[in-house]
Amino acid sequence: MKNTFYALFCAFFTVIATAYAAVNPIVMGQLPSQLTESSGIDVGPSAENWSHNDGYGDNKLYCFSQTGALTRTLTISNAVNYDWEDITHDAGYSHMFIGDFGNNTFDRTNLRIYRIPYPSSVSGNTVTASIINFSYPDQRQFPATWNNFDAESFLHYNGNLYIFSKPDGNALGYSKLYRVPDQPGTYVATLIDSFYTNDRPTSVAINSDGSAIALIAVSKIHLFQNWSGDNFFTGQHTQINFGGVYTQKEATSFRSRTEIAMTDENNGTGNYLYKVDLAPWFIAVPTSSQTGPAESAGTEKAAVFPNPANDLIQIRSVQTKDNDMQFELYDITGNLVRSALLPSTIGLKMDVSALPVGVYYYQLIDNGRSVMSKRLVIAR
C-alpha cells in the first residue's frame, strides 16, 4: 500500500513542480533614480505606481508614471524602514499597507505593518501611519534554526492581510500562508496552510475582482484561481516561468484584471518597470468541483482537523459506513509515520506531538483500497 501511495505522492510533486508556461516581461520604463532597490509596488486607482526602497532607513513612498518618471514623494512621518518588503491596498483604495516584516536572520521581534490613507487621498508630502504589530504562532526560537520566518509578500482580502513566507536554506520549498487583521493592534498571526513553490516568493498581488492572485519569485509566477474560503493555496495553480534576461524580480501589483506590473532591483542589471499579461492563463468559468493541488480527487470520506495541527489531530468519518477504515499518515519522503483504525461511528484522536513540524500526507483505506488522500501541516 505504501508503494501505491508513494507513487501518487511523487506524481503530485511532479505536477506542481512542472512549468506550465513561459512569458517575457515587457519593459515599460526605467525606475526613478531614488528607487535603488524597489521592493514593493502598488498600482493606484488612476494607474499611478507607488514603490519604496528595501531598508536603508528610507521612510518614503515614491510615485511614478507608466514610463518611470517620478511624480511625487510621500514621507511616512512616524515610520522606520527597518526592512520594508511589500505594499498593498484594500479593495476600495481606502488604505495602503506597508509590510515592514523582512526577517533575513529570523530573529525579529518587531514585525509590523504600517497602515496609511491611500496616498491619492493625502494632501501634502507627509502622512502618519497606524501600526499593526504581529508575531508568528509557530516561531519559538529567536533566531530560528528553521529558516521559514522571513516574508516579502502580502495582500489584502476581505478585511484581513495575508502574509506569504519566504523559505530559505533548510526550509526551502514550502511557502506558508498567515492571516492578520487589517486593524491597528498587536496580534499573533493565524497559520492557514503552506504550498510547495520550491522557491523564495518576493511579492504577491490580488486582482480587482478577487478572482486571482499572482505570487512571484525571481524567476517565475505562481497564479492561483478558484480557491476555497481564504486559503489561496486550495485554488488551481499555474506556474509561469520568466523568459528573457535574468533580473531580480521583487515586486508586483495588478494593473488590470489580468495584467500585472513588476519591478526589479538594481543590482547591475534591472531597475525597470515591467508589465506581464496573464490573460492566456485565466480561467473563464470557475468550477465548483475544484479540489486544489494538494488534494486527491473524490468525495470526502473523513474530516481531519485542525489543519494546520499542533500536537493532536482528530479524524471523523463523514459518511455512514458499516465497516471501519484505516488511517495512515506519511511524511514528505513517503515514510509511514502513524497508522490507526478509524471507527465508523466514534472517530479517532491521534497524538502527533512527537512528529517534526512540516508537511505530511494522509490516506484512508477502505476494504484494501485508498479512497482519499490529502495534505496535513504540522506547525508549532
Closest by Cα among 46, 286, 254, 240 to 156? 254
For residue 319, being part of any structural domain is answered with yes
CA distances from 191 to 136, 180, 354, 378 (A): 8, 9, 20, 10
Cell numbers describing residue 374: 490529502
CATH of the domain at 371: 2.60.40.1930
Query: How confident is the model at residue 321, as a pLDDT?
Result: 62
Query: How confident is the model at residue 366, as a pLDDT?
Result: 84
For residue 1, being part of any structural domain is answered with no
The last residue of a domain, from among 281, 305, 330: 281
Closest by Cα among 221, 229, 197, 367 to 294? 197
Closest by Cα among 146, 143, 132 to 108? 143
Q: Which helix (H) or strand (E) holds 207?
A: none
Say whether both 309 and 261 belong to one domain: no
Closest by Cα among 291, 190, 167, 276 to 237? 291
Say whether both 242 and 320 belong to one domain: no
Q: Give the number of domains in the chain.
A: 2
Residues paired with residue 181 on neighbouring β-strands, in sequence order: 160
% of the chain with per-residue pLDDT over 70: 88
Say whether both 192 and 231 belong to one domain: yes
The last residue of a domain, from among 235, 257, 281: 281
Contacts of 378 (CB under 8 A, 6+ apart): 308, 309, 310, 352, 355, 356, 357, 358, 359, 360
pTM as predicted: 0.72
Sheet architecture: strand order including 21-23 = 21-23, 236-242, 220-225, 212-216, 203-206
DSSP letter at 56 equals T
For residue 218, being part of any structural domain is answered with yes
Say whether both 39 and 167 belong to one domain: yes
For residue 339, being part of any structural domain is answered with yes
Closest by Cα among 169, 139, 164 to 154? 164
Average pLDDT over residues 162-187: 95
Q: Cα dihedral sign for 282, 283, 285, 288?
A: negative
For residue 49, being part of any structural domain is answered with yes
For residue 171, being part of any structural domain is answered with yes
DSSP letter at 167 equals -
Query: How confident is the model at residue 6, as a pLDDT?
Result: 47
Query: How confident is the model at residue 26, as a pLDDT?
Result: 94
Say whether both 158 and 241 belong to one domain: yes
Residue 115: give the domain boundaries. Answer: 17-281
Which residue reads 508630502 in cell numbers?
A: 125
The last residue of a domain, from among 227, 253, 281: 281
For residue 286, being part of any structural domain is answered with no
Say whether both 33 and 177 belong to one domain: yes
Say whether both 128 and 151 belong to one domain: yes
Say whether both 299 and 277 belong to one domain: no
Say whether both 150 and 245 belong to one domain: yes
Are 208 and 254 in contact, with CB atoms under 8 Å apart?
A: yes
For residue 4, being part of any structural domain is answered with no
Query: For residue range 38-97, what is the model confidence (pLDDT) as tens digits?
Result: 999 999 998 999 999 998 889 999 999 999 999 999 999 999 999 999 999 998 899 999
Say whether both 206 and 350 belong to one domain: no
**257-286 in b/e burial notation, b at 16+ Cβ within 10 A?**
ebbbbbbbbbeeebbbbbebebeebeeeee
Average pLDDT over residues 96-116: 97
d(CA 357, CA 238): 27
CATH of the domain at 253: 2.120.10.30
Cell numbers describing residue 302: 473523513
Are 29 and 77 in contact, with CB atoms under 8 Å apart?
A: no
pLDDT at 101 over 70: yes
d(CA 232, CA 172): 20
Cell numbers describing residue 281: 492563463
Say whether both 247 and 300 belong to one domain: no
Residues for the chain: how many in total?
380
Closest by Cα among 178, 221, 222, 172 to 199? 172
Query: For residue range 209-257, what is the model confidence (pLDDT) as tens digits?
Result: 898 999 999 889 999 998 888 999 999 899 999 988 888 899 999 999 9
- For residues 318, 320, 324 and 328, what is the CA-based torsion angle, rounded to 10 degrees? -20
Cell numbers describing residue 59: 521612510
Say whether both 230 and 108 belong to one domain: yes
Q: DSSP states of 304-349 as a string?
A: EESSSBSSEEEEEE-S--SS-EEEEEE-TTS-EEEEEEE-TTT-EE
Residue spans of alpha helices (H) in 54-181? none
d(CA 177, CA 99): 15
